[in-house]
Structure formats: C-alpha cells, structure tokens
Structure 1
Amino acid sequence: MKRRTLLTTGAGAAAAATLGLPARAQDTPKIGFIYIGPVGDGGWTYQHDQGRLEAAAHFGDAIETIYQENVPESADAIRALSQMALSGADLIFTTSFGYMEATVEAAQQFPDVKFEHATGYMRADNLATYDSRFYEGRAIEGLIAGHMTKSNKIGYIGSFPIPEVIQGINSSFLHAKKVNPDIEMVVIWAYTWFDPAKEADAAKAMIEQGVDVILQHTDSTAPQAAAEEAGGVYTFGQASDMAAFKPEPRISSIIDNWGPYYIERIQALIDGTWESTATWGGMAEGHVVIGEITDVVPAEVKAEAEEMIAAITSGEYHPFTGPIMKQDGSVWLEEGEVATDEMLLGLDFYVEGLTGEIPS
C-alpha cells in the first residue's frame, strides 16, 4: 500500500520515473485528503486521518491515499487542491468548513475529479458534501456536564460562529439545564480550529471564572492539559477520544467516526456509482459516537446518558424538541415541535438562558 503525503507524491508519474520509483498503476484510484491541522492534533484532523487509514487498510493495494496537512482556509487551499488534482487524484476530501469556496472553485477547474467537502453546503455534479450531527453528541455532554458541575458553571470553547458550533453550544446548554436549572455557561470564542496556546488560554480564563466543566469545539488537547493542571475540572474529548486524559479530566468524549463513510464513498468511486450527495449522519448511522464514560461519573448519571444515547440513536428523541425559546424570549419551537434540518443549518442565535452575543 502506498501511503504518502502530497508533498512527496505531487510531482506525479514523471517525477517518479526520474527518481527511479515505480509509477502508479493507471487503474488504481488515487484518493486525496486536505487537512486544516496536523495529523497529530489529537482531535479533528487526527480523526479524519484515522478514517483515511481505515479506508487504506480496507482496500489495500486497490487504492492509493495521499494527504496534505496544515492547509489554511485561504488561497493556500485552492493551490493545495490544484496541486493534488494535477498529481492525479481521482477523489479529494476537503475536511474543514472554510475550504468550501476553494473546493467549489477546484471542482469547476477539474470537472473529471470528484470532490467531497466536510461540513459545507455547496454542491455540484462532481462535488458532494458530508457532515455529522455533532449536536447529538453535545446533548449527551451537556447532560453529563450539568450533573458533574459543582460550581454550576460550565464552559464552551467555540472555534468560529458558524451554525455547526452554535448548534453545539445550544444543545449542550439545553441539556445541562434540563438536569440542573441553575446552570450557567461561559462561551469563549478562540477564532481558530487548532491553536493549542489559544485553546489553553481560553480554558484557563474559564477556570478563573469558576467553570469546572469544559466542552470544546476546537481540535487540540490543550484544554485537557489545562484542566488537568488546575485540578477539579472535567473535560470531554473533542472529535477523537483523547484517551490519554482518562479517567479524568476527560470523563467522556464525542468521536467523529469517518472511516465507514470514506470506505462507502471510495467504493462508489471504484464501482462507478459515485454521485453528488448531501450526507448528514449522526448516532443512528454510526457517524457520531460517545466515547467511554469513565467511572468518575456516577453510575446513575452514566445510565441516564446511555438512555439518551439509545433514544437519539433509535430516533425516539431529537435534541432540539420544543418548547425552546430564543435568547430574546421569543418562541423558536412550540411544545413537541422538532427543529428541521433547514432550521439547524441556518442556526444563528442562542437559546434562552445563554448570555452574551454571537460574534458577527
């Protein structure tokens, strides 16, 4: 199996011949991945790369996978995509929201290449989108956080104020408040997906404000380390299990399980059945997984969390079920009303009880 970064394969078959390396078989699909962070970030990018490796193991020598890490959400993205397409990639996955416009541009420039953009919404004949219902996992985290806090203050480190992150903030707060009506949530925006220093600073600022349970929508393990250093503060693994911090401060996690999706889509490419689709999977599809709830969490709280996991997975319960009020006191969802996907994909407000404003 050939598993190399784009930086070592981007020159293509001509360069391989010059270097005396075996050229790739013309009928071997080449699958590319563009990453926002390093593969060792311990969170989002790490988990996408675990999905790549799972697909590589599944298909063996039937495919070749390549990747480029640390690609900024800027003009660098279109350059990386163009380089990858010119290197012979047949299917390219772009794994961050901010790559959307670059992916659209690349899909137009390279109509014979298939593209898939994670967390986006813009599609074309050769451009699909895929996402996970992370808010389902945030509901479980919120329930546990509401029980575990002693100060009644929990924190959420936000990356960027996009609907995906706002869904997570609202879902976790709503479910914390259901089990603890006195709960308060401190939200700090880091304006980054991966910056350990900024993430650590956000965690420390929260702890100084009395927060003793931290949720995050950023990708490094820095908040876990800050909580561990402070002592008496609980955290949740983000995107990956972050198991190095078990049994505490990391008391559970939300795991993005990308492998099955990557295998399915690569198989469709091989079979010639690939089509542009919009996928939004959750617990029911195995895309969102709750990691081990450690024994630091009381047995009755763990049982309550597992009951909610089962209810969400079966479709019996939706985390955004009314009555739910907006922050300004107006009605968002009536009693028993369930938020539609369209509502959630455009979510741009806090629910009642959250303080502060969402940055523009």
Structure 2
Amino acid sequence: MLGRPARIVSALAAALLLLGQVVAAPAMAAEALKVAFVYFSPVGDTGWTAEHDKGRKAMEANLGDKVEAKIVENVAFGPDSLQVIRQLAADGYGLIFTTSFGFMDQTLEVAELYPDTKFMHLDGYKTAENMGTYSLRYYESSYLAGMAAGAVTKGDTIGYVSSFPLPAVIQIIDAFTLGAQAMKPGVKVKVVEVNSWYDPGREKEATEALFSQGIDVVGHVTDSTAPTLAAEAAGKYVVGFHSDRTSYGPKSQLTAVIPVWGDFYTKVATSVIDGTWTNKPEWLSMQDGALAIAPLGAAVPKEAAEKIAAVEAEIRAGTFSPFQGPIKDQAGTERVKDGETLPDEQLYGINWYVEGVEGTLPQ
C-alpha cells in the first residue's frame, strides 16, 4: 500500500503522462490556402474569363480542402480593381491571381502593402518580391490554327480581326500567318483592328467587312462570339480564340486557340502551400500542357489535319518553333536567318509583322 508521498509522486507521474498524451495528440489539419481570382468580365460560358474559371475549378478539384477559392468578376480597371485587390489581401487571401494586363499597376501597389501575400499577374512585366507574372505562348497554337485556315481558304487573302498592336498580339498574328503560308505559300493575312478585347458590335462589323471583300476565312484575337456568329451566318469560315465555340459555329469554326490553366493554377497554389513559391516569370507553352487547339472542323481536309497533328507533336516535343527561320518582315528584310529561332527576348518586344501581313503598326 502506497504512503502519502508515494501517492503524490504517483499522481504527479499520472498527470505528466496525461500531459504527454495531450502534447503528443495529432496536430489539427493545416488551414486551407485562400486563393482569389480577379476577372475583368463575367464568367460566361466561353471566352477569356470562362477559361480561367475552368482552371480555377480544376485547381480546386486537384487540391481539395487544401485550398479555399473565391472569384470576383466584372472588375473594372483602375480604382475599382485597386479596391478589390486590396480588400482581398486584407481578407487574408494568401494567393491572388489578377487575370488581365489592365490590373498590373494596381496589383503591384497592393503587393507592396501586403508583403506576406503572394500575387500572380497575367501578361504584365512588373514584379515585386511577392509578385510574379505569367503568360502564354499563344503563338504556338496560333501557328496550328493558321495552318487550318491556309488549308481551307480558296482565295489569296485571309482576314484577321485584331484587338491592340501589343507584342503578344503581334506574335499571334505573325505565327498565324506563317502557319497559313506553310499550307498555302504566298497567302496574305489582312488585319483589321477594333481597339478592344471585347466589343461584339465592332468585331461583327470588322468580320463582315472582311467577308464583303471576298475573303472566306477570318481569324481573330478578340473575346466575343461575334466573329463566329458572323461566319456562320455568311456561310464562311472562322478560326476562334480563347474558347472552343463549335456550338456557336458548327459549320463555320475550323478550330480555335484554347488556353488550359488548370495544371498551372494547381502548381502555383501548391508552391505557396509548401513554401517553394518564387516570383520567377512564367511563359507557358504547349509543352507545359497550357495550350491546345479545338478539334478541327469537317472542312479541314484529312491530309491537312494529319500535317497539323504532326506539327503539333513537334511543338509539344520542343523540336519545332513557329519562329524558326528564315523569316522576313513586311519590308522584305530578313529578321530570322535560316537555321535560327527568334529568341525570347526579341519575341517579348516584337514590333514587326512578317511578310504577307497586310496591316500597319505604330512606330
């Protein structure tokens, strides 16, 4: 039988044992990373924002309860976006994606105020220690889309509805032209600018104006369904951009350039969670699985489809670039020599159209 001192020691030992059990109890699950996406337009069923939101959903499906996501759509550039981004940071969102070039300065301003929050800005060039940038090599898919256009056109000119004369857009139009010429040497691409990313009225007007000139295929780097609907109504062909719009143009769409964001958004969120995130700029490609083209329409001949598939495989393998020489500009000056490839630093700031493009650029 234990004496009083022994009983005290025994009780203390039991308490310490209990304490040890409490201390050794499994830790609570880590709090989910709060991830926000800022969109300049409503989500909708197709287009730029719709594709980003598909990527957001894929990230959630891939990471489950490790992330808690929120979207803010239809955010205007300028003071409105500054307020939205700042509020998201204040609300504890640890990772914020701002998905348009127009959000760049506001993202940077908020990043400087919230150093513990990670920011990723699309298509911009300004960074901070906690702010990175990302963009896509749209020109890869655009080359393939141009091949489809060149294979189908019966004329000597293809139309193109452009948004703004930015380097990223010039890359797209140049690659589209080179792809079309790979299928139909000497074919030209006539560019009409609408000075907007999304203006259905002006996009429709520009597309119809090109068709009225005898052009039978039109491509575009704008975001509405207007070019597709105009092509369907006219019995002509269109190469879409940002989304597969076959449902809007079952007979007219030859293919479309499509971004695929899910894997990238998953990768970035994972890097924030595990502490490996960096602000290194990301320029994503078909090799990364970040770009695709929509299924080819029935109007694309089988032989052309096989050639497009073969070139796509080469791009994905890294053995072919749309900007492999020889390439001349509109004035006939050689810009890329035979056997060379235009380097990234020149692609980033490209300000010239390739030979065969009918259009002017600001000096």
Asked whether the two chains share a fold, i.e. TM above 0.5, the reply is yes
Q: Is the 8 A contact 2:157 2:187 kept in 1?
A: yes
Tell me what 2:351 maps to.
Answer: 348
Question: Secondary structure at 1:276's aligned position in 2?
Answer: coil
Tell me what 2:292 maps to.
Answer: 289
Moved more, 256-265 or 242-251: 242-251
Tell me what 1:11 maps to.
Answer: none
User: Is the alpha carbon distance of 1:81 and 1:26 closer, same or farther for their aligned partners in structure 2, counting shifts above 3 Å?
Assistant: farther
Q: Is the 8 A contact 1:52 1:262 kept in 2?
A: yes
1:40 lines up with 2:47 in the alignment: no
- Identity of matched residues, %: 41
Cα distance, 1:336 vs structure 2: 1.2
Equivalent-residue separation in structure 2 for 1:85 and 1:282 (angstroms): 30
Cα distance, 1:235 vs structure 2: 1.4
Cα distance, 1:316 vs structure 2: 1.4
For residue 270 of structure 2, the aligned residue among 263, 267, 275 is: 267
For residue 130 of structure 1, the aligned residue among 125, 129, 134 is: 134
Cα distance, 1:182 vs structure 2: 3.7
Unaligned ranges ≥5, structure 2: 1-28
1:144 lines up with 2:148 in the alignment: yes
Q: Is the 8 A contact 1:186 1:211 kept in 2?
A: no
Tell me what 1:300 maps to.
Answer: 303
Tell me what 2:115 maps to.
Answer: 111
Listed as ranges, the matches of 1:1-360 within 5 Å are 27-40=31-44, 42-231=46-235, 233-245=236-248, 247-359=250-362
Q: Is the 8 A contact 2:228 2:249 kept in 1?
A: no
Cα distance, 1:141 vs structure 2: 0.9
Tell me what 1:9 maps to.
Answer: none
Cα distance, 1:246 vs structure 2: 5.3
Q: Is the 8 A contact 2:231 2:249 kept in 1?
A: no
Tell me what 1:17 maps to.
Answer: none
Cα distance, 1:123 vs structure 2: 1.6
User: Is the alpha carbon distance of 1:162 and 1:41 closer, same or farther for their aligned partners in structure 2, counting shifts above 3 Å?
Assistant: farther
Tell me what 2:23 maps to.
Answer: none
Q: Which structure has the larger Rg? A: 2
Question: Secondary structure at 2:357's aligned position in 1?
Answer: coil
Q: Is the 8 A contact 1:121 1:129 kept in 2?
A: yes
What residue identity is the alignment partner of 2:244?
D
Question: Secondary structure at 2:70's aligned position in 1?
Answer: strand
Q: Is the 8 A contact 2:324 2:339 kept in 1?
A: yes
Question: Secondary structure at 1:117's aligned position in 2?
Answer: strand
Map Cα deviations across residues 217-275 of structure 1 (whole Å, 9 max, x no partner).
111111111111111x1112311222313542112121100000000111111112211
Equivalent-residue separation in structure 1 for 2:193 and 2:351 (angstroms): 15
Map Cα deviations across residues 248-305 of structure 1 (whole Å, 9 max, x no partner).
2112121100000000111111112211121112111111112211332110010010
Question: Secondary structure at 1:252's aligned position in 2?
Answer: strand
Equivalent-residue separation in structure 1 for 2:42 and 2:219 (angstroms): 21
Q: Is the 8 A contact 2:229 2:249 kept in 1?
A: no
Equivalent-residue separation in structure 2 for 1:251 and 1:351 (angstroms): 23
Moved more, 133-142 or 274-283: 274-283
What residue identity is the alignment partner of 1:350?
Y
Question: Secondary structure at 1:220's aligned position in 2?
Answer: coil
Q: Is the 8 A contact 1:246 1:294 kept in 2?
A: no
Equivalent-residue separation in structure 2 for 1:305 and 1:245 (angstroms): 23
Moved more, 178-187 or 38-47: 178-187
Q: Report the count of equivalent residues.
A: 335
Cα distance, 1:41 vs structure 2: 5.7
Runs of 4+ aligned residues of structure 1 deviating over 6 Å after TM superposition are: none
Question: Secondary structure at 2:35's aligned position in 1?
Answer: strand
Map Cα deviations across residues 89-128 of structure 1 (whole Å, 9 max, x no partner).
1111011122222221121122111100111222211011
What residue identity is the alignment partner of 1:39?
V
Cα distance, 1:62 vs structure 2: 2.6
What residue identity is the alignment partner of 2:175?
S
What residue identity is the alignment partner of 1:157?
V
Equivalent-residue separation in structure 1 for 2:76 and 2:314 (angstroms): 38
Unaligned ranges ≥5, structure 1: 1-24
Question: Secondary structure at 1:211's aligned position in 2?
Answer: coil
After TM superposition, the score normalised by the length of structure 2 is 0.88
Q: Is the 8 A contact 2:147 2:183 kept in 1?
A: yes
What residue identity is the alignment partner of 1:29?
L
After TM superposition, the score normalised by the length of structure 1 is 0.89
